[in-house]
Amino acid sequence: MNSTMHNNTIAKTLSELTLGEPKVFEDLTAFPLQGSPADVRDYLTLEQALSSKTARVTEVSESGSVPELKFVNDGVAPVLLLDGEELVGAKQNRILNLTILVPARSSILIPVSCVERGRWSRRSQEFSAARRTMYARGRAEKMEHVSAAMSVGGSRRANQGAVWASVTDKAECMNVSSDTEAMSDIYENRQQKLNEYIKAFPVADDQRGAVFCLGGRVAGLELFDRPATFSVLMPALVQSYALDAMEGRLHGGAPEAEAVAEFLSDLGQSVPQRFDALGLGQDLRFRSTTVSGAALEIDGELVHLLAFSRHDHGSGGRAEDDSQAPGYQSRVVPFSRRRRGH
């Protein structure tokens, strides 16, 4: 692990983006983050690599290991594995604990969490991509657990018990039953409605990400180094936030651009803790009283940035005061609040 140090890559990246006009469907709003990529990096997404048969994901052995899987990239391009992305099949369904860019022609063990508590029996030799990520609230909680583990000892493991409890709570909230307590059954039960959300959020040509709002509150952000990546992954991300929006227990009101700009400003102030990545680049992890997140940085550029508002974390729905937590600092870095056409 590298020592904690100031890093302005997040603020620099945000300052180069334009906040577009929001799109709204029911209780979900998405503000586009638009801008030309600084550098075009060649890689495939997980779905692209698995579909082209240039990569495969398996259990680590015949007996398997819940918190890790084997990823083999036989292709000539790196493969981007997305934090929270679901893999289905083999002995039980899993989600990825963090974003990894796996080098070409390499094999690594990837840290995962189980989202199918009631099964440990082989359905297939290899995993397939589910084309979705964990719902946003559960993904935020998992991300913070992984960040804490990395800060203490460098492990990329999540709190598996908390992940299972989250899936159980989600199923109960959505009134969905599952014989194997699988998160996938929740999505499949609501797929028709989720498809409506996907259609409601088309992607602009130069869109590299979005800030998502649930009800009247900013929920989180997803940003990539190039529009092509965001275009491929946007349906999975929309479903992630939509499943939370469909719970029906959101705060009222409509999100405003000023609230989004404030969230981005807080994000731009982050001074992350840095770790050597499992694949290419460095992992950045950060948390304050208002925002928590993670990023993958390679050669001074962000390949992926993920952040969540912490307004509904902690007891009583308030963010915990982590401003003095070891390994986390903040520094004021201005965020450009440019709007398209202004």
* Contact (Cβ atoms closer than 8 angstroms) between residue 49 and residue 73: yes
Using left for φ > 0, alpha for ψ between -120 and 50, and beta otherwise, residue 230 falls in alpha
CA 79/CA 81 separation, integer angstroms: 6
Which residue type sits at 18? T
Output the CA angle 10-36-81, nearest 5 degrees.
60
- The model carries a pTM of 0.88
**175: CB partners within 8 A, 6+ apart:** none
pLDDT in tens, the chain (342 residues): 333 333 489 999 999 999 999 999 999 999 999 998 867 789 999 999 999 999 999 999 999 999 999 999 999 999 999 999 999 999 999 999 999 999 999 999 999 999 999 999 999 999 999 999 999 999 999 999 999 999 998 899 999 999 999 999 999 999 999 999 999 999 999 999 999 999 999 999 899 999 999 988 999 999 999 999 999 999 999 999 999 999 876 666 677 889 999 999 999 999 899 999 999 999 999 999 999 999 999 999 999 999 999 975 433 333 333 332 333 222 222 333 333 333
CA 139/CA 127 separation, integer angstroms: 20
